[in-house]
Structure 1
């Protein structure tokens, strides 16, 4: 049941002493109000019958305004029901109050996902898509206004995620993605600042310290010197990618996959990180050059045998990257067990190890930080950009 009626809101008198007249909408025990923008003196309103008294100076004007607004709301209810669309009191208010600007949570999510797809930000798009899919499973639909996504709604979603067995970091990612979309909604004036829930709902609490994924210098040497002669393709590729990443600034798997001859200029590796767009400029290390030499083939577009001319669309590339990283990390895990490495080997371990070895050698944290995770990558990139090449060159001598 949905009820629509008029009230004279006596709880918050205006500065002139008059009481605002509002339309009250109730559905599923939730109440929302639409301010008609008019007011009256308390003595001119019949609070039992909820209408202006016969003695009210503007009785006819007020009654016409009230009738028109209630009729408009009831028409909207019939329209929504005829289209078999579920709605809440909040949704109804948004539809009536901002009919041209009303964009649901689901619609803005899909718009943002499309923009990321157009910008070929595949990894980030996938993260936003996963959050969207998760919210759909939780709420069954996202045909809701942003004002409905309040603190209580977010807490229920958090509880639901925990019941699903999601890790603290996964939950944190979900909420950071929601905050991104909510910030877009605020900037587009789809929701008022006072309805912003993240002032009270703190995302910072949703963080779990990730187990250290860095090796000692001795463990790194043991790994990169692992004998690959006679081994299968993915075992050799796994060691080569790990080695290249360690010696070349902790470059991650996706960035390595997209490297071409154009990224090597005057014996330097120069590329833009696909994740952040930041320019990386590092001296080529001898061991890294030996890795590239093994795969040198002028007929192939990429330096590593991960992507090829067969992978034309973004989806084909994404599928290929997923397939290769899965097999590479499976090989690294097996190698780690064989070498009795105390932590599970992945390509990302090389990235962490690069940063950690430099720090242990006394390199300033302003040049490279201990971790290259999400919380520190941005800071690291900023500082790398601000240092001269020779300072970075000297720092990387510690890797040898």
Structure 2
């Protein structure tokens, strides 16, 4: 693909200026992208693709044009390295949103996708990690810049903010998962995976088991609650807790999707929303 800065003399503004465009040419097809700059016709040097020195602020304007041209060329070079065909679509279209994005922007795309398929919990973890990256100014970087130093800076920031070991482990696990997705989708050309040098497992710490006794569960079961509309929500919460306890800790999402038809011959048949694993549980009382 060829790029050239041209002056559109077929578009003359009311003040007599003509706009400058970046013209992309491929297979005899052209696409024009505005530079946001317009100048008189006689102030453009077409052979050198520069604004003539006598034009006011020409040095600054020429610098802007040069920087933007280099940016477009860099995108083309990136596509070439990724072995992605350079087309108007991959450079400017829907596909370019993946290829030309920052870490934070890619996180946002993945968050939206997770929400669209009903994985709200995963989306929430992604959002928390993205928020942390934004606050330590790492989210604006691109995946090519995610190296060992990037990970160490992120770790240092989280520790300064008082995050515990398991919080660090969760955030780094999320970051690694999103990084691997970006590699798979060819968002960037991976040269060296920094996570191979970075031990996420060091963060995981065993947590103290927190559980109430069977006697306490029986007390909750036998507790007399007032029969009024105000206490209905409390009674309902108690029922949900006891049901979850009796069905080996079934979570609320799975309870909410149960149907009467899932109860057959004294057993409960259901599929875990999180894992898709089929479960069979015998009806029971508190042991």
Both structures adopt the same fold (TM-score exceeding 0.5)? yes
Mapped contact 2:165–2:204 kept (Cα < 8 A): yes
Mapped contact 2:134–2:140 kept (Cα < 8 A): no
- Which is richer in helix? 1
Using a 3 Å threshold, how does the CA distance of structure 1 residues 229 and 107 change in structure 2: closer, same or farther?
same
Mapped contact 1:131–1:177 kept (Cα < 8 A): yes
Using a 3 Å threshold, how does the CA distance of structure 1 residues 214 and 196 change in structure 2: closer, same or farther?
same
Using a 3 Å threshold, how does the CA distance of structure 1 residues 92 and 219 change in structure 2: closer, same or farther?
farther
Unaligned segments of structure 2, at least 5 residues = 1-62, 80-89, 91-98
- The Cα of 1:110 is off from its aligned counterpart by 2.1
- The Cα of 1:241 is off from its aligned counterpart by 1.6
Return the alpha-carbon distance in structure 1 between the equivalents of residues 217 and 64 of structure 2.
Answer: 70
The aligned residue for residue 48 of structure 2 is none
1:98 matches 2:78 = yes
Q: Deviations over 1:168-205 (max 9, x none)?
A: 22221111110110111222233445421111111101
The aligned residue for residue 241 of structure 1 is 240
Using a 3 Å threshold, how does the CA distance of structure 1 residues 77 and 175 change in structure 2: closer, same or farther?
farther
The aligned residue for residue 268 of structure 2 is 269
The aligned residue for residue 253 of structure 2 is 254
Using a 3 Å threshold, how does the CA distance of structure 1 residues 95 and 76 change in structure 2: closer, same or farther?
farther
- The Cα of 1:77 is off from its aligned counterpart by 6.3
Mapped contact 2:104–2:133 kept (Cα < 8 A): no
Return the alpha-carbon distance in structure 2 between the equivalents of residues 165 and 94 of structure 1.
Answer: 39
Return the alpha-carbon distance in structure 1 between the equivalents of residues 69 and 218 of structure 2.
Answer: 66
The aligned residue for residue 212 of structure 2 is 215
TM-score by length of 2: 0.62
Using a 3 Å threshold, how does the CA distance of structure 1 residues 239 and 77 change in structure 2: closer, same or farther?
farther
Mapped contact 1:121–1:274 kept (Cα < 8 A): no
CA-based RMSD: 2.9
TM-score by length of 1: 0.46
Counterpart among 101, 125, 128 of residue 127 in structure 1: 125
Return the alpha-carbon distance in structure 1 between the equivalents of residues 160 and 73 of structure 2.
Answer: 32
Higher relative contact order (CA 8 A, sep 6+): 1
Q: Secondary structure at the residue paired with 1:236?
A: helix
Return the alpha-carbon distance in structure 2 between the equivalents of residues 202 and 223 of structure 1.
Answer: 44
Counterpart among 161, 186, 189 of residue 186 in structure 2: 189
Using a 3 Å threshold, how does the CA distance of structure 1 residues 93 and 175 change in structure 2: closer, same or farther?
farther
Return the alpha-carbon distance in structure 1 between the equivalents of residues 219 and 147 of structure 2.
Answer: 52
Return the alpha-carbon distance in structure 1 between the equivalents of residues 65 and 244 of structure 2.
Answer: 59
Greater alpha carbon shift after TM alignment, 264-273 vs 109-118? 264-273
Using a 3 Å threshold, how does the CA distance of structure 1 residues 136 and 77 change in structure 2: closer, same or farther?
farther
Q: Deviations over 1:363-382 (max 9, x none)?
A: xxxxxxxxxxxxxxxxxxxx
The aligned residue for residue 110 of structure 1 is 108
Return the alpha-carbon distance in structure 2 between the equivalents of residues 179 and 149 of structure 1.
Answer: 10
- The Cα of 1:248 is off from its aligned counterpart by 0.7
